[in-house]
């Protein structure tokens, strides 16, 4: 898959905002804005969340994702580089 499409193909934007673009339900986000993520989270934390979101926040509605390992690196680098 074209890596630039990973975020769209998995519909992350249904719950998140990245680069100021995405879904807002009512006045509050379902998920959270991912902008500035790198300032808040380590790469290890982001990867851990994809593999097992329950470990990060129990009861979360975010599903687990298992990307091919190269894709996992790519999406993580992308997310932590969002301004």
Write out the residues near ligand HEC by the rule CB under 6 A.
Answer: 10-12, 14-16, 30-32, 34, 37, 40-41, 46, 49, 56-57, 60-62, 65, 75, 79
Least Å from the CB of residue 40 to ligand HEC: 5
Least Å from the CB of residue 26 to ligand HEC: 14
Residue among 3 and 41 whose Cβ is closer to ligand HEC: 41
Cα separation, 76 vs 57, in Å, equals 18
Residue among 62 and 73 whose Cβ is closer to ligand HEC: 62
For the chain, give percent helix, strand, coil, nearest 5.
45, 10, 45
Q: How far is CA 43 from CA 23, 32, 49, 55, 73, in A?
A: 24, 17, 10, 15, 9
């Amino acid at each position: 898959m074209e890596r630039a499409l990973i975020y769209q193909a998995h519909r992350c934007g249904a719950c998140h905002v990245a680069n100021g673009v995405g879904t807002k339900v009512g006045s509050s986000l379902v998920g959270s804005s991912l902008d500035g993520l790198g300032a808040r989270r380590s790469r290890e934390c982001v990867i851990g969340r994809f593999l097992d979101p329950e470990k990060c926040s129990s009861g979360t509605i975010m599903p687990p994702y298992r990307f091919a390992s190269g894709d996992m690196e790519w999406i993580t680098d992308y997310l932590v580089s969002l301004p």
